[in-house]
Structure 1
Amino acid sequence: MSEPSEHPANRLRVATYNIHKGVQGVGPVRRLEIHNLGHAIEQLDADIVCLQEVRKMNRKAAIHFPRWPELPQADFLAPEGYTAVYETNAITRHGEHGNALLTRWPVLHKSHRDISDHRFEQRGLLHVVIEVEGVPVHAIVVHLGLIKGSRVRQVAQLRDFIEKEIPPDERLVVAGDFNDWGARMRYAMNAMGLRDSGDLRGPRILTYPSRMPLTQLDFIYARHMSVTECAVPRGAIWARMSDHLPLVSDFSL
């Protein structure tokens, strides 16, 4: 699929991207990609960018890479004029990482919920309310677990959060790395009134692995907005920056 076209004023462009903590490769061939990711995110020209595996800090990586940014990754990646919102999901021996949201629209409110299903995977959802042309739009960034049972329970927690915290008549976007092989969580998301670009019935959307995409793990769901276009940027530079490709959807307002 090609990159998304220029979007008119009555469209909201949403992107989701698992950035793999800004580092690719293993062992002595590890390389820092955070600077390339900054340029790439700017090129997406999205109103809302939902990011997963974002490092707030990592002492070991900061020593290993001379060009490690002094800013937390969410702030470093935010294009000029954007607001960065970050919440930690996991605290490790050397630092912290979690979900982030970047937006060119004013941020009204943020909250966070721990949705960890077991102690080996620390997961959370980041909720941000954004004002778009005077209207509130709720955005939730998620990164679900690797085990199917965990994902089922985490989607149930997501539903509980939406029912309690978000008015049913307001616009909502839920985006992130669902780790959802075969789009099995789509039925539960649809039951909440949330639809994704799969409803376009177009070509298959493949986001993982980036070098040779075989499946879709990354999704953007929405309610009270209609998806009009969906794209996955491709090419050598996108394949090297992360193990995931970004997903970009345009919605009609």
Structure 2
Amino acid sequence: MSSILRIATYNIHKGVQGLGPARRLEIHNLAHAVEQFDADIVCLQEVRRHHRKFEKQFTRWPNLDQAGYLSPEGYESVYRTNATTRHGEHGNALLSRWPVVDIRHSDVSDHRFEQRGLLHVNLLIDGVEVHVIVVHLGLMHAGRERQVRRLGEYIATAVPSQVPMVVAGDFNDWGAQLLRPMAALDLHTFEGIRLATYPSRLPLLHLDRIFVRGLRLVSAHVPHGRVWARMSDHLPLIAEIELQ
């Protein structure tokens, strides 16, 4: 018997949009958006744990960390820090309808100016272990290639070869140059479908992707519209996959 899983990946731009006096808090709208996904698994990037300056500036800044605040009722939230900054820290998060069995984090920073990490969460879905790795790769292509090699090394030691796996997130892969090295890791994504997610106001680039191993890709879509364009500089990517 097979099950269809809905998975979303979304770079939320730390819950804040705009610059200077025009800066606005979008975390409350993002919470409604995440609930609308109706996803079994939500992979998030650029999630703040805290930010002392914005906590004072915005009167409606949530009391919870952003991962906890964005987690719909009945979901479990997992967060791990990638980057520590002057006023706070941010990283990757995962929200799950299914039980969390184990959580790991691996630093894949390519240089000291970009702090990056892998969030690895082991879920139990209908009695089957499914490993999900949330990624946010660097801005330089050579660095991203090195990070994919480190991802492969990490998977070889941390994920059993027969276990279903999802790798999702913001790959910053402007020219789809990482598809081949990801395929070499037996990780595959949708082909022949235009799923541009960036920039949100006029999406031209397919930066956000969902790769799978040992699972069947069924469908994928990117929601569009003025409301979605306001909440982050990325649009979310939502996919359905089959757990066989």
Question: How high is the TM-score relative to the length of structure 2?
Answer: 0.98
What is the RMSD computed on CA atoms of the aligned residues? 0.7
State the match for 2:113 in structure 1. Answer: 120
State the match for 1:84 in structure 2. Answer: 77
Gaps of at least 5 residues in structure 1 are: 1-8
Structure 1: which 4+ aligned runs deviate by more than 3 Å?
A: none
Shift of 1:127: 0.1
Shift of 1:149: 1.0
Query: How far apart are the structure 2 equivalents of 1:58 and 1:229?
Result: 37
Residue of 98, 123, 135 corresponding to 2:128: 135
Shift of 1:197: 1.6
Query: How far apart are the structure 2 equivalents of 1:215 and 1:149?
Result: 19
How many matched pairs?
242
Query: How far apart are the structure 2 equivalents of 1:139 and 1:38?
Result: 22
Query: How far apart are the structure 2 equivalents of 1:10 and 1:90?
Result: 36
Superposed CA offset, 1:98-147 (max 9, x none): 00000000000000000001000000000000000000000000000001
User: What amino acid sits opposite 1:88 in the alignment?
Assistant: T
Mapping for residues 220-231 of structure 1, pairs under 5 Å: 220-231=210-221
User: What amino acid sits opposite 2:222 in the alignment?
Assistant: V
Query: How far apart are the structure 1 equivalents of 2:151 and 2:166?
Result: 12
State the match for 2:149 in structure 1. Answer: 156
Whether the 8 Å contact between 1:89 and 1:114 is mirrored in structure 2 is yes
Query: How far apart are the structure 2 equivalents of 1:147 and 1:183?
Result: 13
Question: How high is the TM-score relative to the length of structure 1?
Answer: 0.95
Residue of 92, 117, 124 corresponding to 1:99: 92
Query: How far apart are the structure 2 equivalents of 1:85 and 1:189?
Result: 25
User: What amino acid sits opposite 1:245 in the alignment?
Assistant: L
Q: Percent of counterpart pairs with the same letter?
A: 60
User: SS in structure 2 opposite 1:196?
Assistant: coil
Query: How far apart are the structure 2 equivalents of 1:97 and 1:10?
Result: 33
Shift of 1:10: 1.4
Query: How far apart are the structure 2 equivalents of 1:234 and 1:225?
Result: 27
